[in-house]
Structure 1
Amino acid sequence: MKTTTPALGLLFFLCASCSVNEKVAPLGTGGAAPDDAGAVPDASGGGAGDDLFAQLPTITPTATGQRGAAATVDLRGSLAAIEVLKRGGNAVDAAVAAAGVLGVTDPFSCGIGGGGFMLIYLASGDKVIALDHRETAPSRLEAGSYYEDGVPVAFPELVTSGLSVGVPGTVRGWSDALRRYGTLGLGDVLQRAIQVAEAGFDVDPTFFEQTRRNLARFQAITSTRALFLGPDGQPWPVGTIFRNPDLASTYRLIAAGGEKAFYEGQVAAAIVAAVKAPPVEPGSALNVRAGVLELSDLRDYETRVRPALSTTYRDRTLYGIGLPSSGGITVAEALNLLEGYDTATLTPVEVLHRYLGASRLAFADRGALLGDPEFVDVPVKGLLSKDYADSRRALLDLLQAPAAAAAPGDPYAFQRDPSPAPARARKATGRRAGANDAHDNETTHISVSDAAGNIVSYTCTIEDEGGNGIVVPGHGFLLNNELTDFTLLPDPSAPHPNVLEPGKRPRSSMSPTLVFKDGKPELALGSPGGATIITTVLQILVNTIDLGLPIDEALAAPRVSQRNSGDGSTDAETAFLSAPEAEGLTSLGHVLSDAATLGGEIGAATALRFNGDGTVTAVAEPVRRHGGSAMVEQER
């Protein structure tokens, strides 16, 4: 039976670079290990009395106050954002600082081995910007790489492989966001993350459970085993101190050398080596295929600054992320469908019935039509057309839920574009490389605002829980398996908007969202959860706009998710199955499947609400993923 090991003993086994005479203390005591020069990084911007981490506050999922606010899945992530705001940084600075810390404390969901989408509202110019740092397919990776003997490679074997790794975009995304819209540099905002990685943090139930669910593949990868498992090959117990000095060193390189330190030099070489020759334990039965990533792929990676996707819903204006994320378009199309109903006259069951039907139709279009806009001509204007929604709404049966998947529509007729509809976009169908284009509790969402009115809604990820399972040796971070978001067809030569092509960005579901009313910010929100990100954001919007729930209740409410399943079934959280609305939906023909088979939870959202009295309310999950953390810069 495994017993809890004293922290110092744990640290000795965690990394060969640790020495028994290193001073180690958890952040709760304010301690920090010395850096290479023997000095402790000053992340507080002041004396010891200014260090917000010296005594960690109580975790709360809701906070209301003035000036800035932050909500993340983890207390240290939220605290890092608030710390930067109190030092005078803006919301962009704070969001990157939070993401850096989450790369340490939530490494199975996000980190510098992945990518994301950052939605930024700049109050001074009253404009919304979408910063795309989604991963891209390597230049030598072809669609046929995912097939053997004419058959698609099994999903688990694709996930844990070099083949699934997209060129990471996070570091360049952080750098571009700070350079364009921030006030601080990478060297400033990463200091707290460096300290957290060195000093350590106590393993919580979420960290332990994530490690345990990935145990078999973590045991099979030498670098991953050395970092995330104890000397007996088992997860570190809850309550022990986990440190990641290799990640601290990598962050230091980036802090000193900027993005070039990641995309060129020793870090880039280590990434390429891990992809081309995965560090598999000798004798392991796990088939970990090699990838084809090149140094040039990393060196040439670029972020994209794109126009934010904009739509209206009732008396609100919504902004989201456009392609290559499907999130903004799918949410907008579903809302357009719902807009045809006066929800004020409907019961909650009737509203939910329409929400599920609208989501089904929007997902039908998503699956058939959406892909990287640099590779496929997507009829975005048609999909967002209110007239198109009017034509599709007739397919919503108000009396009975369908028992089969919906077919995609024809938005080209509403495109107001003389070009013909491309046949391949309308006719091709397929599935994600994964067995279920559905549910993944990982990824994470950060919601931040500052006193000047700037807002960041930021979703970042390494894709599935634990990414591709490979820690880059000597550098302390997991690589993504983002390329499994491409669509696999029975025939590798068949066309589809989301098939794998060199340099292409796989379709995403990430849905960072901003809501404005009367020209003023009202909400910022987003969630992890694979394709359920879209339904989570959509249901929270319906809960608060149509059903009138306060934002904390709207976010905490039990969830149901309809993603155009083949048999018509709808995933439902266990808590929803015991709610009165479940019986009402069942009477309308809905088949509710317990999401316990998918991990039990749908999404793990965070949100901000900007109140009429000038205060802001930050909200995180109260229960999902053992609860998140919401904080404000100045409590009221």
Structure 2
Amino acid sequence: MVLFKSNSSQIKYKRIILFLVAVLFVILTNPVWGQHQPLYESEDRFHPVIAQNGMVATQEALATQAGLAVLEEGGNAIDAAVTIGFTLAVTLPRAGNLGGGGFMLVHHADSKETVAIDYREKAPKGATRTMFLDENGELDSEKSRFSHLSVGVPGTVAGLTLALEKYGTISLERALQPAINFAKNGFVVSRDFYDSLGFALPRMSNSTASMEIFFKSGEEPYNAGDLFVQKDLAETLELIAREGIQAFYRGKIADAIVADMEANGGLITKEDLADYQPVIRQPVRGTYGDYEIYSMPPPSSGGIHLIQMLNILEPFELKKFGHNTAQTIHLMAETMKLAYADRSKYLGDPDFVPVPIAGLISKDYAEELRDRVNLEQATPSSTILPGEPNHFSESNETTHYSIIDRYGNAVSNTYTLNFSYGTGITVPGTGILLNNEMDDFSAKPGVPNAYGLIGGEFNAIEPEKRMLSSMTPTIIMKNNRPFLVTGSPGGSRIITTVLQLVLNVLEHDLNLAEATNAVRVHHQWIPDRLNVEKGLNHDTIQLLKEKGHNVQISDVMGSTQSVMKKDRWFYGASDPRRVGALTLGY
């Protein structure tokens, strides 16, 4: 068969084919041509998602789609954040919630202000310092983690609503629309959801309401591919859409929560719910090179210690040592120990205790701490004590999402029930899972909590006090505009996870996907152990051991959801460490 008649015609046709191939390549790789950019392909997961108008990164695909739809309709980042928060309460019930609380960092472009919305849970008025100690004065972890006593007064509904009223543009009814739809009409169960129910069964078996919602007859969890419907939760969400937060804190929902508390020895009363208020706080602010770091203030410890560690590490010029080399990891680990030692003594609810914020994030204090870092050998944690920041003073199941919109607004939000599915207890008739955040207090100062964190007097239980947190929602600005928005779940490892994501981008010049995928390490002072994810070079591990580090190979750490704006492009990346996450732009 003669395909081409002459050499000249062959050349002509070949040029046409090459031109068409080139055009096709541009179309497929240029974000201008695609409205919804997919998450990076599995074989090429080290490239971030790219878009022109806005970006959303969350732990759950349906929530990401719901948030992006709001942006496409002309809504802003705050509108999308509130929509996502309510949607995750339906589609990611192990962490998304109505019965928990959290922190939202907002950069509002019109007012040029960056604020922190604290909607952390509070201790009920009836809480006491010794409520989780047995007759021998020892901590009863069953009470502090899996009983109605372990429930803090929820803040999520009040916090999301406040954000929408103050900085949003859409109605509460519109923000709740996707959540109501998924609760009423259902969504398809993923393998990850199915697996999580298997782990939750032992605790949920003590709650009839939880078993009726999350399991079929005979304790059989919903299987991957099944349609999962939550009728009670749909009615709760519809009630909030009609009546606002009054329904949750003063009306029918409040009555149901209080009735469940009274029937099961819990402490939350109608007065506790009616008096709950979120707080708008000033974020903590630091610098790293040409960048401004904004993060969550107390009662989160995350922002303070993120900035504190960046201050200590900045002069070391880690880029010269190399990304994840033994020397870089050694310096990070020594810095982590110092920060977590300070956390144990100085952090708590600033409405109750004098947290020395200015001292802890001071560059001068960081210089003093830096002098305590042995450049060659690990310092035993037993020899490390909290520092003296007042000399410089003038403050594991969670989910995070990040958003930047085309108007220049940015949101970094982390919220939680504490453990996966919280207590495992559902308030009958409401579909609301209850948190177990009271375990985040220092029930007995000096005794580790569920995450191994040591707490002191500043975080002791008091009525109406907010418990200490490690959540670290963060917005990094460059030239007074949002550059990077990030955060992570992970209990005590949240702060160090965010630290490494930030350093990977700002110090090591990794693109956002590379920064997300890179191996992570963690040290929290006590226990004296350097946790390292699988994948770190064997020779590097050996060098760390020779420096005196007690290296232990760990499970994966955190699950960052990050977006950034560089020049005129938006970039985003969802962490592959937990399945189901999705980043989308348009």
Give the TM-score, by structure 2 length: 0.88
CA distances 1:270-292 after superposition (whole Å, capped 9, x unpaired):
112223324xxxxxxxxxxx221
Q: Is the 8 A contact 1:311 1:332 kept in 2?
A: yes
Q: Is the 8 A contact 1:162 1:276 kept in 2?
A: no
CA distances 1:332-378 after superposition (whole Å, capped 9, x unpaired):
11111102212232233222211111111011101111000010011
User: What residue number does 1:408 align with?
Assistant: 386
SS in 2 for 1:524: strand
CA distance 1:388–1:221, shift in 2 (3 Å)? same
C-alpha RMSD of the superposition = 1.9
User: What residue number does 2:464 align with?
Assistant: 503
**1:48-447 matches, cutoff 5 A:** 60=40, 62-278=48-264, 290-348=265-323, 349=325, 350-405=327-382, 406-416=384-394, 440=396, 442-447=397-402
Q: 1:460 aligns with which of 390, 393, 415?
A: 415
Any unmatched runs of 5+ in structure 2?
1-35, 448-454
CA distance in structure 1 between the aligned counterparts of 2:241 and 2:79, rounded to whole angstroms: 14
Cα offset, 1:594, TM superposition? 2.5
Q: Is the 8 A contact 1:152 1:490 kept in 2?
A: no
Q: Is the 8 A contact 2:104 2:473 kept in 1?
A: yes
Query: Which letter maps to 1:154?
Result: D
CA distances 1:444-468 after superposition (whole Å, capped 9, x unpaired):
0011121111000011111111101
Q: 2:579 aligns with which of 608, 621, 626?
A: 626
Q: Is the 8 A contact 2:82 2:161 kept in 1?
A: no
User: What residue number does 1:617 align with?
Assistant: 571
CA distance in structure 2 between the aligned counterparts of 1:130 and 1:490, rounded to whole angstroms: 28
Q: How many residues align?
A: 535
Cα offset, 1:584, TM superposition? 3.4
SS in 1 for 2:485: strand
SS in 1 for 2:535: helix
CA distance 1:260–1:580, shift in 2 (3 Å)? farther
Q: Is the 8 A contact 2:344 2:456 kept in 1?
A: no
Q: Is the 8 A contact 2:442 2:460 kept in 1?
A: yes
Cα offset, 1:554, TM superposition? 0.6
Cα offset, 1:143, TM superposition? 1.2
CA distance in structure 1 between the aligned counterparts of 2:445 and 2:135, rounded to whole angstroms: 12
Structure 1 window deviating more from structure 2 (233-242 vs 501-510): it is 233-242
CA distance in structure 1 between the aligned counterparts of 2:289 and 2:335, rounded to whole angstroms: 16
Q: Is the 8 A contact 1:70 1:81 kept in 2?
A: yes
CA distance 1:344–1:602, shift in 2 (3 Å)? closer
Query: Which letter maps to 1:367?
Result: S
Please say if 1:571 is aligned against 2:524: no
CA distance 1:478–1:522, shift in 2 (3 Å)? same
Query: Which letter maps to 1:226?
Result: E
CA distance 1:59–1:200, shift in 2 (3 Å)? farther
CA distance in structure 2 between the aligned counterparts of 1:447 and 1:570, rounded to whole angstroms: 29
CA distance in structure 2 between the aligned counterparts of 1:200 and 1:507, rounded to whole angstroms: 35
Q: Is the 8 A contact 1:371 1:498 kept in 2?
A: yes
SS in 2 for 1:151: coil
Cα offset, 1:495, TM superposition? 7.1
Q: Is the 8 A contact 1:150 1:491 kept in 2?
A: no
User: What residue number does 1:287 align with?
Assistant: none
Cα offset, 1:88, TM superposition? 1.6
Which aligned runs of 4 or more in structure 1 are off by greater than 6 angstroms? none
CA distance 1:392–1:463, shift in 2 (3 Å)? same
Structure 1 window deviating more from structure 2 (205-214 vs 321-330): it is 205-214
User: What residue number does 2:541 align with?
Assistant: 582
Structure 1 window deviating more from structure 2 (266-275 vs 586-595): it is 586-595
SS in 2 for 1:625: coil
User: What residue number does 1:431 align with?
Assistant: none
Please say if 1:544 is aligned against 2:519: no
Any unmatched runs of 5+ in structure 1?
1-55, 279-289, 417-424, 426-439
User: What residue number does 1:532 align with?
Assistant: 493
Q: Is the 8 A contact 1:246 1:476 kept in 2?
A: yes
Q: Is the 8 A contact 2:512 2:573 kept in 1?
A: yes
SS in 2 for 1:497: helix
Query: Which letter maps to 1:575?
Result: G
Cα offset, 1:58, TM superposition? 6.2
User: What residue number does 2:4 align with?
Assistant: none
Query: Which letter maps to 2:507?
Result: D
Q: Which has the higher helix share?
A: 2
Query: Which letter maps to 1:615?
Result: W
State the identity as a percent: 37
Cα offset, 1:315, TM superposition? 2.0
CA distances 1:454-503 after superposition (whole Å, capped 9, x unpaired):
000011111111101111111112011111100122699x9700000000
CA distance in structure 2 between the aligned counterparts of 1:59 and 1:240, rounded to whole angstroms: 24
Cα offset, 1:114, TM superposition? 0.6
Q: Is the 8 A contact 1:457 1:512 kept in 2?
A: yes
Cα offset, 1:153, TM superposition? 3.6
CA distance in structure 2 between the aligned counterparts of 1:458 and 1:327, rounded to whole angstroms: 13
CA distances 1:203-241 after superposition (whole Å, capped 9, x unpaired):
212212221112111112111111111211132222211
CA distance 1:495–1:528, shift in 2 (3 Å)? closer
Q: Is the 8 A contact 1:208 1:237 kept in 2?
A: yes
CA distance in structure 2 between the aligned counterparts of 1:332 and 1:579, rounded to whole angstroms: 31
Of the two, which has the highest radius of gyration? 2
CA distance 1:409–1:475, shift in 2 (3 Å)? same
Cα offset, 1:57, TM superposition? 9.4
Query: Which letter maps to 2:574?
Result: A
Cα offset, 1:78, TM superposition? 0.5
CA distance 1:574–1:235, shift in 2 (3 Å)? farther
Q: Is the 8 A contact 2:158 2:245 kept in 1?
A: yes
CA distance 1:254–1:491, shift in 2 (3 Å)? same
CA distance 1:521–1:491, shift in 2 (3 Å)? closer
